[in-house]
Each structure stands twice: as C-alpha cells, then as structure tokens.
Amino acid sequence: MKLNVKNETSRLRAVVLGTAVSNGAVPKVEEAYDPKSIEHIKAGTYPKEEDMVAEMTAVANVFEKYDVKVFRPQIIENYNQIFARDIALVIEDKFVKSNILPDREKEIQAIQYVIDEIAPDKVYKAPSDDIHFEGGDIMLHNDHIFIGTYKGEDYSDCIVARTNMKGVSYIQSLFPNKIVKEFDLNKSMDDPRDNALHLDCCFQPVGKNKAIIHKEGFRNLNDYQYLVDLFGNENLFHIDKNEMYHMNSNIFSISEDVVISEKGFTRLNSWLRSLNITVEEVPYSEIAKQEGLLRCSTMPLIRD
Ligand SMILES: NC(=[NH2+])NCCC[C@H](N)C(=O)O
C-alpha cells in the first residue's frame, strides 16, 4: 500500500476507523484518562457499547457511499479501540507510530495487519520513551505541520497533555522541509469545557481555505494569532466553550466539499452548507461522551 496524506481535506481513499466492539465495562473514575469520561462515569451516563457500535456503523456506511476503503482494528477483548487517530499517523508516505499514553499502548497491535501492507522502510517509531505525541495533536496543512502540545511545568503529572516538545522536535526531524508550528494548549483534568485534550479538540482546517477554531483552547494568544494570520479571520468559524465540549471542531473531511459531522451541530452544519459543502450527518453524541469525535476515531492512510 502506498500511503499519501498531506492535509486534512483532500479526497479520502483509505482510512482506519476505530471500533467500539468489546469496549469493556464502564471504567472506574481512577481508570479514566479524560475529564468528560469521568463526568459521565459519575453521572451514570457513560455510553453503552451497542449505542457506540451503531454510531460507528453509521460512519462506516458513509465511507462505503463514497467508495473509501475502510480498515477496522482487530478486536482486543474488553479494550477501548474507538480513537484510532491517536495511535499512529500518516504524513506524506510515512507511517509514524505514536508514543501514546501507557493505558492505550496495546491499541496499535490491532492494526498490525495494516502496517504489514506498508513498505517497512516507511514505518517509523520514536527512538526513546520520553518523546511523546498522539495523532490527535498532529495536523497536516500542505507545507505546514501543526502540533498541539503543553508547555506547563506540570506536564508530567498531566494525563490530558499527550504531546511534549520532544515529540514536536522528533516530527520536525522526520520532515526537515516542513514548517512545523507548535501550539501550547489549555488543559484541565477537572473541567472538560476548559480542556483542549488534543489540537483537534479546538482547531481543524475544513473546505478549501477555512478552519474551525476555539480561541480559549490556546494558552498563548500568539499561537491563536498565528492561525488568524495564516487563514484570515473571515475564514475562521469560532466555536464557544460549549461547542468545544460537544467537539464541533472534531468533524472529518472526506474531501474539500464533503464532511461527516454530528447531526446536532446545527450552527456549524449550516455554516458548512453555506460554503456549498455537503454535510453527511451521523449520530455521534454517545462516542462524544469519551471526549473524542469523528476526527479522533479515524486515521487516514491515503488521500489524493
Ligand atoms: N484525537 C483525539 N482528540 N482523541 C480523543 C481521545 C479520547 C480518549 N478518551 C483519550 O483520552 O485518549
């Protein structure tokens, strides 16, 4: 298989879509690794496997409609394998395995059968354990690579900070010709409305030259300003705390003019339609309870 991904929006041909099958029992609070899951564990509203499986099937059906080749992870019993985005990423023709949160380390084994189809000299893994990065923090924008990170001194105690500056440097070392721009993100283990878990939870390019953004997701206003200057303010769709909480920036593009989005994202979906983008609506509010949405559960392998 010849990989090719250079941005978030070119026509999709092949993708890994996570799975909610055998997701395991409702975790204990101390087993969860994001504040939104914790909120739902405490409230007794943690999502049921059958509901999440149905939501992911709706996404698979959209891919089928657009003739996209879909790979699903093999099932690891009682293990969360929904968020395929984070376990590895494709940049151009390279497949880079993430150095992910230890709780999620086993997920990659389930797509070994996909990795086996890639030329071994195109598969990369960071040389040391203190280099951290997850796919949700890394976004491609042609000559740019955008990377979400956290520069706070409490990084090592913060399980919602998944990409460090060593991770940023590692990605730059693999792609010396790209402009790598890092973004310091706001993190909160207590309140999901203040937690930009990954870059794709507060920002994502869409369409030809547009992007969705949550200003308060950025710790450093210069980082936010960088995106305003690059895209132009008139091309940005600003979402508020609540919309971030519901994960409006985490839709997924099949092409510049076709997007998969959550059916409840009324304001966002009408903006997309006003740009002549076809919006394929799916129900995804159960998956969203685990602080991830459509971009988080997909890992593109081939785009045009
Ligand atoms: N790319 C993403 N934003 N992924 C979301 C992953 C959510 C998952 N609960 C975690 O904490 O790891």
Domains of the chain and any CATH numbers: 12-303 (3.75.10.10)
81 — pLDDT class (breaks 50, 70, 90): very high
ipTM of the complex: 0.95
User: Under a CB-based contact definition with an 8 Å cutoff, are residues 201 and 250 in contact?
Assistant: yes
| Residue 24 DSSP label | -
Nearest CA to ligand 1 atom 6: 292
77 — pLDDT class (breaks 50, 70, 90): very high
pLDDT tens-digit map of 127-152: 999 999 999 999 999 999 999 999 99
Phi-psi region of 113 (alpha: psi -120 to 50; beta: other; left: phi over 0): alpha
Per-residue pLDDT averaged across 247-258, rounded? 98
Considering all CA atoms of the chain, what is the largest pairwise distance in Å, rounded to the nearest integer? 49
Instruction: Please list the helix, strand and coil fractions of the chain in percent, rounded to the nearest 5, in that order.
Output: 35, 25, 40
Neighbours of 58 (CB within 10 A): 15
In the prediction, which pLDDT does 167 show?
98
**Alpha carbons 2 and 74: distance in angstroms, whole number:** 21
In the prediction, which pLDDT does 130 show?
96
User: Under a CB-based contact definition with an 8 Å cutoff, are residues 259 and 210 in contact?
Assistant: no
| Residue 125 DSSP label | E
In the prediction, which pLDDT does 125 show?
97
Q: Which residues contact 71 (CB under 8 A, 6 or more apart)?
A: 14, 15, 16, 17, 111, 114, 301
| Ligand 1 centroid to residue 277 C-alpha, Å | 26
Percent pLDDT > 90 in the chain is 100
In the prediction, which pLDDT does 1 show?
96
Q: What is the mean pLDDT of the chain?
A: 98
pLDDT tens-digit map of 91-109: 999 999 999 999 999 999 9
**Alpha carbons 294 and 268: distance in angstroms, whole number:** 14
| Ligand 1 centroid to residue 120 C-alpha, Å | 28
User: Under a CB-based contact definition with an 8 Å cutoff, are residues 277 and 257 in contact?
Assistant: yes
| Atom of ligand 1 at shortest range from CA of 137 | 1
In the prediction, which pLDDT does 101 show?
93
187 — pLDDT class (breaks 50, 70, 90): very high
User: Under a CB-based contact definition with an 8 Å cutoff, are residues 187 and 160 in contact?
Assistant: yes
235 — pLDDT class (breaks 50, 70, 90): very high
Q: Which two tokens stand for residue 131?
A: 């280099």
In the prediction, which pLDDT does 228 show?
98
User: Under a CB-based contact definition with an 8 Å cutoff, are residues 86 and 98 in contact?
Assistant: yes
**Alpha carbons 135 and 50: distance in angstroms, whole number:** 26
Q: Which two tokens stand for residue 245?
A: 């909480």
CA torsion sign for 171, 174, 176, 179 is negative
* Residue written as token pair 């969705």: 212
41 — pLDDT class (breaks 50, 70, 90): very high
Pocket of ligand 1 (CB under 6 A): 33-34, 37, 83, 85-86, 136, 197-198, 200-201, 290-292, 296
Q: Which amino acid is residue 11, in one-letter code?
A: R
For a pocket test of ligand 1, which of 52, 79, 86, 244 has the largest count of ligand atoms closer than 8 A to its C-beta? Answer: 86
For a pocket test of ligand 1, which of 34, 87, 147 has the largest count of ligand atoms closer than 8 A to its C-beta? Answer: 34
Collapsed DSSP state (helix, strand, coil) of residue 170: helix
| Ligand 1 centroid to residue 267 C-alpha, Å | 24
| Atom of ligand 1 at shortest range from CA of 250 | 3
CA-based radius of gyration for the chain: 18
In the prediction, which pLDDT does 12 show?
98
Give the E-state strand segments of 142-277 in sequence order: 144-149, 179-184, 203-206, 210-213, 236-238, 252-255, 258-262
| Atom of ligand 1 at shortest range from CA of 197 | 3
CA atoms within 13 A of residue 60's CA, in its CB half-sphere: 15
160 — pLDDT class (breaks 50, 70, 90): very high
In the prediction, which pLDDT does 259 show?
98
User: Under a CB-based contact definition with an 8 Å cutoff, are residues 206 and 277 in contact?
Assistant: yes
